[in-house]
Structure 1
Amino acid sequence: MKYLKPLALSILAVCASGTANAQGRFDAVEIRTQEIAPGIAVLFGAGGNIAVSHGENATVLIDDQFAPLSAKIEAAVAELGASPVKYVVNTHWHGDHTGGNEHFGKTGATIFAHTNVRVRLSTPQQRGEHTIGPSPDEALPVVTYDQGLKFHLNDDTIRLMFPGGGHTDGDSVVFWEEDNIVHMGDLYFNIPGYPFIDVASGGNVYNAMRSLDLVIAMIDSDTQVIPGHGAMSNKAELVAYRAMMGEAVGRVDTLRADGVSLEDALAAKPLADIDRGEGGFIDEDAFVTAIWSSAG
């Protein structure tokens, strides 16, 4: 935990705090909307990127950010001309993607997620010095799955798929099959900094790479890629992200095979020339530690 950047620490703190205490942190947040296909939009605010599918059948949210933003998210959905949210999909359990669950559950939305998301939301989770949860019943996924399922809505097939986890043990990706769009959740961070592998939540960098490989094999150069955080992306950028991850893992694996300790591996700064820019959720040491821990 000591290598997490302030951004990640603040998110964990908000996840562990009460709604009243957290509200003030989000008063200035604006929800920005980008329509990427007829009836499909992405909402950017604070926390994970939200996808919205809307049409004559129902409105579906993919993730719902933080609880204090729920009213702003509802307003952004209404501005799209969409009906109130009927279904919510959680790509994983973290509070910057599931914080709105309680609100939308109380307004009648049905929440869908991988089985492990419900497990983690329904039991206390230790995040450094903070204990999170359990979440109230209204915030829990009502429909869970192990492999995936499909919605047939709004003239599209919306496919939820568990590719094997990696960021956590419950990561889903979401495909719009007819519109050639995929939401990656936090398997893909299109922001500065290194990939956040949440080992404490069952994350594993080797699983993450396999999940990315699976998705990359399923998309093409025209696919619109929604990352968990950051601007809209595409296959080429996702491939480059996967290559960067593989290069980093290879370097750490080499050090481990040479019999060095984790302390010596950190001191060697094996990722020093992999420029990930300033900011992000975690620093180089946290990513090296996550790779080391993923190997068992």
Structure 2
Amino acid sequence: MHRTALIPAALAALLLATPATAQDFSKIEVESTKVAEGVYALKGAGGNLGLVVGEDRAFLIDDQYAPMVPKIRAAVSAITDKPVSFVLNTHWHGDHTGGNEAFAEAGTLVVAHDNVRTRLSSDQVMAAFDRTVPAAPKGALPVITFNDQVTFHVGGHTVRTIHIPSAHTDGDAIVHLPETNVIHTGDLVFYGLYPVVDYSNGGSLKGMADATAKLMEMSNEDTRFIPGHGPVVITRRQLAEYLQMLRVVHARLETLIGEGKTLEEVIAAKPTAEFDEQWGKGFLPPDRWVRINYQGMAPAGDAK
């Protein structure tokens, strides 16, 4: 089944309304793809999930929305009968953490960067979308947090979880599986659409580009990436295309802002023009994406 059309709806549910009212989850199924031996990607209503199946337990990367949990569990059960011992949140957004409480109630330990627990513990403003996200219930908060990195040993798989500062948010983590040469990028990578940059919560376009460059440095031509949004598996060549887009657009915006251009002048300059065919058909159309980044990058008095 073709799933690309679900990406804008999933992000709209996160950013613009409560998930239960923004989407009819009954119509969405969770599909699994084997990425490597013991490693799977799952696609449903929110960010792409990762599943690592060890000899005695399983490790889940992100958990989408609460109404999707039964379908996620069913998809996992179709792959393995091992218990899900850990859920790792790649960042705090609701399409990656909405299932936390349900998994925790079943005995799964929720893990995330320190800043994820901090963000989930109180109301958070997303100024670019004129939205305040209410605090998560106490039972949804990560019970294990880390500052820099933490390594899990999941029955034959080394699961290296590494914090990436100030990129999509201030609490991003990637998951590196060295034995199988797979990396789950979280929302550092939106392949095929312009990415959400959460400036209100520590994100930046430069940080997104720097993070993607780090992913390139960590990988080789055989590495498979599970991006936060887009197709469930991409190659290093595709990641390089994404990095090129981020670098070029950031440099252009930096130059235009440095020249004192207004928001309207920057939008009129069309700094994303040659990338719009590939990246501009998702949740954020080109002008909206330029506006968000201008407002995040420009001096406070100019970002109108």
TM-score w.r.t. the length of structure 2 is 0.88
Alpha-carbon distance in structure 1 between the residues aligned to 2:61 and 2:9: 26
* 1:214 equivalent in structure 2: 214
Equivalent residue of 1:178, what SS? coil
Post-superposition CA distance 1:271-296 (Å, at most 9, x none) = 22223355312122233234332355
Equivalent residue of 1:282, what SS? coil
Question: Higher mean Cα deviation, 217-226 or 196-205?
Answer: 196-205
Report 1:5-24 matches (<5 A).
Answer: 8-14=11-17, 16=18, 21=21
* 2:54 equivalent in structure 1: 55
Letter of the structure 2 residue corresponding to residue 125 of structure 1: Q
Q: Using the TM superposition, give the Cα deviation of residue 252 of structure 1 relative to its aligned residue in structure 2, in angstroms.
A: 1.3
* 2:203 equivalent in structure 1: 203
Q: Tell me: CA distance 1:256–1:26, structure 2 relative to 1, closer, same or farther (3 Å).
A: same
Structure 2: gaps spanning 5 or more residues: 1-7, 300-304
Q: Using the TM superposition, give the Cα deviation of residue 132 of structure 1 relative to its aligned residue in structure 2, in angstroms.
A: 2.2
Q: Using the TM superposition, give the Cα deviation of residue 228 of structure 1 relative to its aligned residue in structure 2, in angstroms.
A: 0.4
Q: Is the 8 A contact 1:55 1:82 kept in 2?
A: no
Q: Tell me: CA distance 1:254–1:116, structure 2 relative to 1, closer, same or farther (3 Å).
A: same
Q: Using the TM superposition, give the Cα deviation of residue 82 of structure 1 relative to its aligned residue in structure 2, in angstroms.
A: 3.1
Q: Tell me: CA distance 1:183–1:270, structure 2 relative to 1, closer, same or farther (3 Å).
A: same
Report 1:77-226 matches (<5 A).
Answer: 77-127=76-126, 128-191=129-192, 193-226=193-226
Question: Higher mean Cα deviation, 270-279 or 111-120?
Answer: 270-279
Report 1:262-277 matches (<5 A).
Answer: 262-274=263-275, 275-277=277-279
Q: How many residues align?
A: 287
Equivalent residue of 1:226, what SS? strand
Q: Tell me: CA distance 1:45–1:6, structure 2 relative to 1, closer, same or farther (3 Å).
A: closer
Letter of the structure 2 residue corresponding to residue 42 of structure 1: A
Alpha-carbon distance in structure 1 between the residues aligned to 2:16 and 2:262: 31
Equivalent residue of 2:216, what SS? helix
Q: Is the 8 A contact 1:77 1:84 kept in 2?
A: no
Equivalent residue of 2:60, what SS? strand
Alpha-carbon distance in structure 2 between the residues aligned to 1:251 and 1:62: 34
Alpha-carbon distance in structure 2 between the residues aligned to 1:290 and 1:271: 13
Instruction: State the identity %.
Output: 38
Post-superposition CA distance 1:88-131 (Å, at most 9, x none) = 00001111111100100111111111111111111012344543
Post-superposition CA distance 1:224-281 (Å, at most 9, x none) = 1000012110111111100111111111122122221222112222222223355312
Q: Using the TM superposition, give the Cα deviation of residue 8 of structure 1 relative to its aligned residue in structure 2, in angstroms.
A: 3.3
Q: Tell me: CA distance 1:277–1:165, structure 2 relative to 1, closer, same or farther (3 Å).
A: closer
Alpha-carbon distance in structure 1 between the residues aligned to 2:263 and 2:9: 23
Q: Is the 8 A contact 2:92 2:171 kept in 1?
A: yes
Post-superposition CA distance 1:156-215 (Å, at most 9, x none) = 110000122311111100000111100001100113x31211112211111111111112
TM-score w.r.t. the length of structure 1 is 0.91
* 1:289 equivalent in structure 2: 291
Q: Is the 8 A contact 2:59 2:154 kept in 1?
A: no
Q: Is the 8 A contact 2:267 2:290 kept in 1?
A: yes
Q: Please report the RMSD computed on the Cα atoms of aligned residues, expressed in angstroms.
A: 1.9
Q: Using the TM superposition, give the Cα deviation of residue 154 of structure 1 relative to its aligned residue in structure 2, in angstroms.
A: 2.1
* 2:3 equivalent in structure 1: none
